[in-house]
Amino acid sequence: MAHINLGMDRKTFFEKYYDKNWFLQRQAFKTGEFSWNDLDDALYSWEPQGRQINLFKNGPVPAEQFTETYVDISEQRTRIVKDVLYNFLKNGATLVLNKLQHHSPVIHDYCMNLAQFIGEKTNANAYAAFGGDGSFGKHWDTHGVFVLQLIGRKHWRVYAPTFEQPLAHQKSTRHKADCPKEPVLDTILEAGDLFYIPRGWWHDALPMEGQPTFHIAVGTFPIKVIDYLFWLCSNKLTEHIEGRQSLNAYSDIQTPIANVTEKLSELLSDPIMLQEFQQAVHEQQRVRSRFNIAELAEHYAENRSENTKHPIVRLNTFTPISNQQESIMINEFKLNLDASSREFLSGLVKENSLENDKEKKVYSLKQRQLLKQLGEYDVVEWIDR
């Protein structure tokens, strides 16, 4: 299984770097887990629709320039025209693949490693190039990014933020002139290097001529204060008269504004409201995972024997389990937790976290049977098959 070593524990990362500063870890993961052949395999099963597969050369290349539509058994399909794609790449274009974790178990593993470390949903966009001027120029992202250089080398420049912690709609496009002239970091990432860039930090990634390069940018997506406010206003404030009062130009406006301000402050400071919000968010979480039909087939084998292998498994959530938690919702399946089950499930997260690089865990027969059942309910993912 792909594994990342940040060289620090979670507490240190959040105190020193999270949303605050860039961080570079050389040789954070073993190279060779993902190759050009793996990229070929992902593209083979991936139809280029919905702007998930893109080319950039002096700006975005229109999809119709490197794809074509055709009819296949009475169904309209889209395919990449390979010779056109190859020519673009040979002439300095960058291939950008959005949400590559949905098409590669290895990339999915990297995303889940980081998601469970940081406690946030993740998404991996990938960038392949053989030279050229890069894809986006100087820009900031509206989410934190872990850059993993998987193949080759790439030149990076990072600049101090001029607009801190932007939201999704607050793009850098109209602020290009604000980017500082001097970078705070000018470096070359080698295969195996990891680089963290907080949201809002300007950066520029440049391929190096004649050197094939492939990296993924694993974006992290936290719940923000504004999300909590929207939820309170939509789901709780409407239950109180202060949130339902009219604002009319011919009547007193200041009093209802003052009243709703006081009520909203009361709701914001209520820990029960925050717990309800977090629970509502967690219940909506869905995590993709590998299928394990081979295990089902084994059940019907004529000479079936009890499986004695010790699997590598991962809990299908990036939400930490607290010591007092009585239940957890994972992929729409609710588990009631007692002390022993909390400890066991928390161990599945720790076993695969970035803070832990232990040998494969040995499970008892009863635990293996439980993990098999939890796998069928999509609560855990069997990483080795």
pLDDT, tens only, 130-183: 988 777 889 999 999 999 999 999 999 999 999 999 999 999 999 999 999 999
Q: Which helix (H) or strand (E) element contains residue 71?
A: strand 67-72
The boundaries of every CATH 2.60.120.650 domain in the chain are 10-221
Alpha carbons 235 and 246: distance in angstroms, whole number? 18
State residue 200 phi and psi, 5-degree precision: 95, -10
Residues 6 or more apart in contact with residue 95 via CB below 8 angstroms = 53, 54, 55, 85, 89, 127, 128, 129
CATH code, 10-221: 2.60.120.650
Integer-rounded Cα Rg, in Å, for the chain is 24
The fraction of the chain above a pLDDT of 90, given in percent, is: 73
Higher per-residue confidence, 326 vs 360: 326
Rounded mean pLDDT, 210-221: 96
Q: With a cut of 60, say whether residue 234 has pLDDT above it.
A: yes
Please report the beta strands in 222-351, taking only residues with DSSP state E, as ranges in sequence order. Answer: 313-315, 327-330, 333-336
Helix (H, G, I), strand (E, B) or coil at 149: strand
Residue 360 pLDDT exceeds 80: no
For residue 320, CA distances in Å to 137, 257, 281 come to 36, 38, 13
Note the pLDDT of residue 366: 85
pLDDT tens readout for residues 52-75 = 999 999 899 999 999 999 999 989
Token pair recorded at residue 175: 């602020």
Q: Please, are residues 193 and 26 in contact by the beta-carbon 8 Å criterion?
A: yes
Model confidence at 307, pLDDT cuts 50, 70, 90, reads low
Residue 183 has phi, psi (to 5 degrees) of -75, 155
Residue type (1 letter), 12 = T
79-105: pLDDT as tens digits: 999 999 999 999 999 999 999 999 999
Q: Give the HSE-up count for residue 328: Cα atoms under 13 Å, Cβ half-sphere.
A: 23
Structure tokens at 78: 């889209």
What would the 3-class secondary structure string for 13-63 be?
HHHHCCCCCCEEECCCECCCCCCHHHHHHHHHCCCCCCCCEEEECCCEECH
Q: How confident is the model at residue 187 (pLDDT cuts 50, 70, 90)?
A: very high
Position 367 confidence tier, pLDDT thresholds 50, 70, 90: confident
2-33 CB burial, b ≥16 within 10 A, e <16: bbbbbebebeebeeebbeeebbbbeebbeeeb
250 pLDDT higher than 80? yes
Ramachandran angles phi, psi of 309, nearest 5°: -70, 155
* pLDDT at residue 321 greater than cutoff 90: no
Instruction: Name the helix (H) or strand (E) containing 76.
Output: strand 75-80
Give the mean model confidence (pLDDT) for residues 221-231: 96
**Predicted confidence (pLDDT) per residue in 10-24, tens digit:** 999 999 999 999 999
pLDDT of residue 351: 53
Q: Mean pLDDT over residues 37-46, rounded?
A: 95
Indicate the pLDDT class of residue 34, thresholds 50, 70 and 90. Answer: very high
pLDDT at 303 > cutoff 70 = no
What's the CA gap between 196 and 188, in Å, rounded?
A: 14
Residue found by looking up tokens 């790449």 in the block: 89
If one compares 320 and 357, the residue with the highest pLDDT of the two is: 320
In this prediction, residue 124 carries a pLDDT of 98
Taking 3-state DSSP, the helix, strand and coil percentages for the chain, each rounded to the nearest 5, stand at: 35, 25, 45
Give the Cα separation of 231 and 241 in Å (integer): 17
| Six token digits for residue 302 | 């004529």
- The total of other beta-carbon atoms located within 10 Å of residue 160's CB is 15
